[in-house]
Amino acid sequence: MSQKTWGGRFSGATDNRVEAFTESISFDRRLYRHDVRASQAHARMLADVGLLTAEEAAQIVTTLAAIAGEIERGEFPFSIKLEDIHTHVERALIERLGDVGRKLHTARSRNDQVVTDVKLWVRDEIDGYEGRLREVQGALLAAAERERDVVLPGYTHLQRAQPVLAAHYFLAYVEKFQRDRARLADCRRRVNVLPLGAAALAGTTLPIDRENVRRQLGFDAVAANSLDVSSDRDFLLEFVFDLSVIALHLSGWAEEWILWATTEFGFLDLPDAFCTGSSIMPHKKNPDVLELIRGKSARVVADLQNLLVLVKGLPLAYNRDLQEDKVALFDACDTVAPSLELAAALIRETRLRRETIAARLEDGFLDATTLMEFLVAQGMPLRAAHEAVGKLVRLCEERRCRLADLPAEAYEAVRPGLGSGVYKVLGVPNALAAFRSAGSTAPAEVDKQLGIWRDRLATESTEKREGS
C-alpha cells in the first residue's frame, strides 16, 4: 500500500518538489502529544460503539503511547514524504499493528483530526499563559509595594501632567494584564468545543459517539455543524489577537523603561544581567532586552495579520491554505512566552532611583490641575479656573519659579479671598494628598487596590497549589 493516506486513487508517484512544497512535518511535529491523545480517545470510542474490539483498541492505545515516547526521546524518524505529524503517527501505527492500525482512522478525516489537535494545543497554551501573566502581575505587585512611597511624574503626550504614586503606576499594568487574562479565559471557552466526529465536512454514516470523545478529552461541548468545523479557525484568530494585545502591553511598558533608563530621565537603573554593552563605546549599557521585547511585538502583530489574510475569502469547507495557520500560531506563542518571562524577571530585579526622581519632582507644574480644581471648589467656573491657572503658569515661567513660590497677592488677583489658603494644594505632596476619587492615585485608594490585588493573587496561588 502507498505510504500516503490518499494513494489509492493515484497511479503515479508524487513529484519530489511537490512533497517538499506541501510538507508540514517540519513545524507541525510539535502537535504529536495532542495527536496521540486525540487518537487514543477516538480508538476507545470506536471500541465502545463496536467498530473496534476492546483488544484492538487497547493495542492501538498502547502503541500510540510508545510512538509518543519515541518522539519525546528524539528516536522517531521523520520524512517529508509523510507530509505531516498525523500521517507519521498513523503510518508508524500501521507498521507495528498492520490492519489493526489501519482501522484507527475509521469515521474521521484529517480535516477534523487536525483542528482537534490544534484546539488541544491552544487550550494547553492558554493555560500556560494564565500562569505567565500571573507571574508578571505578581512581579508588578511586589514592585508596587516595594516602591509604595515613591511619587512619580505622570505623563500625557510625554509631557509632565500630574503626580502619581509609583504603586499606582505598577498597578496600572496589573490591570492591563488582568484584561489579557480575561480575554484568554473567554477565548478558551470557544476553543473548548470538540471538532472530532465532523469527518471531512458532512459527518459520517458510522455509529460514532461524539459525547464519548468529548468527555475523554475534556471539551465542554460538541461542535454543532460539521460543515463549519473543518474550516473554522476563528479560535486561532482570537487567540493570536489576544497574544498581540499582550505583546502591545509589553511593548508600551518596555518603551517607558527604555526612556526611564536614559540619562535624561534617570528614573531607574537596569540590572547588568538584562543589558548588553557596545562593541566600540566602553561606557555603554544598552537596554537590549527591553528593546527586543518592544521589537518582537511587531512579529506577533504580523502573525495576526498573516492569519487574517490567510482565511480571507476561503470557501467552505477545508482548504489546504489552512496548513499555513500553524506557522503564525507557533511563532506568536514562541515570541510572547519568553517576553513575559523576561519581563517578570526584569520587574523583580529593577529598582527606581528615588533621589533622582525626587530631585526634579517639582518641575513641570504637576500641581497645576489640582490648583485649578481647588479654584472650582471655591466656586469659580471650570473654564475660568483653567484660564486663570494657565496665566499663573505663564507668570511662573517668566519668573522661573514654581506655583508655590508665587506670592499671595498673585492668587488674590485671581480671586479675592484665596490668600494663603491656596498653598495647601500647591507642591507635589499637597497635590497628591488632594486626590479623592475612586480609582485615583489618592494614597488611600492605592492602598485599597494594593490590598485587593494582594489578596486576589495570593488566593489564586493557593488554589493553583491545591489544584496541582
Strands (E), 149-231: 151-156, 159-165, 193-194, 221-222
CA dist., res. 64 & res. 39, Å (int)? 8
Match 492615585 to its residue by C-alpha cell: 441
Q: Is residue 157 annotated as a catalytic residue, yes or no?
A: yes
C-alpha 428/C-alpha 163 separation (Å) is 7
Considering the candidates 11, 157, 437, 468, report the single residue annotated as catalytic.
157
Q: Where are the alpha helices (DSSP H) in 49-83?
A: 54-73
CB 311 within 8 A of CB 240: no
Of 2, 26, 79, 278, the active-site residue reads: 278
DSSP class of residue 290?
Answer: H
Residue 201's SS3 state is coil
CA 444 – CA 272 distance, rounded (Å): 35
| 278 in catalytic set | yes
Exposure of 313 by Cβ count < 10 A (0-12 exposed, 13-18 middle, 19+ buried)? exposed
74 Rama sector, left if φ>0, alpha if ψ -120 to 50, beta otherwise: left
Q: How many angstroms separate the CA atoms of 60 and 364, rounded? A: 72
Strand partners, 153: 163
The helix/strand/coil state of 24 is coil
Q: Which residues are catalytic?
A: 157, 278
